[in-house]
């Protein structure tokens, strides 16, 4: 797979793998042995960038995802980049789905979190450490100073911010240079495109999560798609309602037409659209299926011209698309 650079010097595969779904939010967790096997298969397919977080788990095992990722990638640690996240916990006692989020980026919390992540991942340093969500009670300069100390101590080598805005990014970056922001970005969620000039100016990469609108843009779901409300967040996502399927039909048809033209799949077109926008955009679609991993990796080989990307943007601008899941509520 092609290699891209985030920030000054962090090289990753052009498409990364979001590992959350193996244990959180997309149905019952995958068996441990199968998870390890599939993550190792992803390496064979060319993935070198794997994204996890300390909170991607279950009520019974809140940190299981990091342990699984660490176990799977241990034999190839020198060949992969692992990103994980701090500063967030799920309110498992709420009884709500999706689970509400509680941000906490106090310096003492970060110090505990990094030690826990290092232990669970079984690594001596974290390649890319993301603040999972902005904590309104903690100034960006405070968080950035802790990141600088962690880099100095060799516990992390790069850091980033998830769901970053311009003011927070600029203030944090001035204290300790940010390598990447990890923001929600897809054809149905383009609000962060306004941040692109700032990312360009500062030399910060974009790690795009939910790049296929939680799977909608694969074109594999239709009316009546059934998701288990007890374990699958898609049961509550607005883009999967029958009404939304009607609203988004023109977009799905456009993706299907372009896929046929490029001998690709709709999923690959939706990823290629952002890959061809900027060389510092790296999508991290999540999947637990090896054939989907191979399909997503193949998006890096689909080349859309500037005119085609611009035409796609213009088409999107003219469509009345449905609402799309914007993340769980933050307390």
Token pair belonging to 163: 């769901």
Residue of 56, 129, 168, 185 marked catalytic: 56
Cα dist. 317→3, 108, 211, 261, 328 in Å?
Answer: 30, 45, 18, 22, 26
Token pair belonging to 244: 């939304």
Sign of CA dihedral 304, 206, 5, 7: positive
CA distance 127 to 12: 11
Residues 252/265, Cβ–Cβ less than 8 Å: no
Task: At 13, give phi and psi (nearest 5°).
Answer: -65, 145
Cross-strand partners of 130:
85, 160
Phi-psi region of 11 (alpha: psi -120 to 50; beta: other; left: phi over 0): beta
Sign of CA dihedral 180, 184, 189, 195: negative
| 56 has catalytic annotation | yes
Catalytic residues: 56
């Amino acid at each position: 797979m092609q290699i891209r650079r985030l920030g000054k010097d962090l090289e990753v595969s052009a498409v990364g793998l979001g590992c959350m779904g193996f244990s959180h939010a997309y149905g019952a967790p995958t068996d441990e042995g199968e998870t390890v096997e599939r993550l190792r298969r992803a390496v064979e397919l060319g993935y070198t960038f794997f994204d996890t977080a300390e909170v991607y788990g279950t009520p019974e095992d809140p940190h299981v995802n990091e342990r699984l990722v660490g176990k799977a990638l241990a034999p190839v640690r020198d060949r992969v980049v692992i990103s994980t996240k701090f500063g967030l916990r799920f309110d498992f006692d709420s009884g709500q789905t999706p689970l509400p989020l509680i941000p906490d980026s106090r310096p003492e919390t970060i110090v505990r979190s990094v030690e826990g992540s290092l232990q669970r991942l079984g690594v001596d340093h974290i390649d890319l450490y993301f603040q999972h969500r902005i904590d309104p009670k903690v100034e960006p300069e405070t968080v950035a100073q802790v990141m600088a100390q962690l880099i100095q101590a060799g516990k992390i080598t790069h850091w980033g911010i998830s769901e970053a805005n311009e003011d927070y990014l600029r203030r944090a970056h001035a204290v300790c240079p940010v390598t990447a922001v990890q923001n929600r970005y897809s054809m149905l969620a383009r609000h962060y495109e306004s941040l692109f000039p700032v990312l360009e100016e500062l030399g910060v990469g974009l790690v795009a999560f939910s790049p296929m609108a939680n799977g909608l843009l694969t074109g594999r779901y239709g009316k009546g798609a059934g998701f288990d409300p007890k374990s699958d967040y898609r049961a509550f996502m607005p883009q999967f309602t029958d009404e939304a399927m009607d609203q988004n039909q023109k977009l799905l048809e456009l993706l299907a037409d372009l896929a046929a033209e490029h001998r690709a799949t709709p999923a690959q077109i939706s990823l290629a659209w952002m890959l061809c926008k900027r060389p510092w955009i790296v999508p991290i679609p999540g999947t637990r299926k090896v054939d989907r991993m191979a399909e997503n990796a193949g998006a890096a080989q689909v080349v859309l011209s500037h005119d085609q990307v611009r035409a796609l943007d213009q088409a999107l601008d003219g469509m009345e698309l449905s609402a799309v899941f914007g993340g769980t509520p933050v307390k």
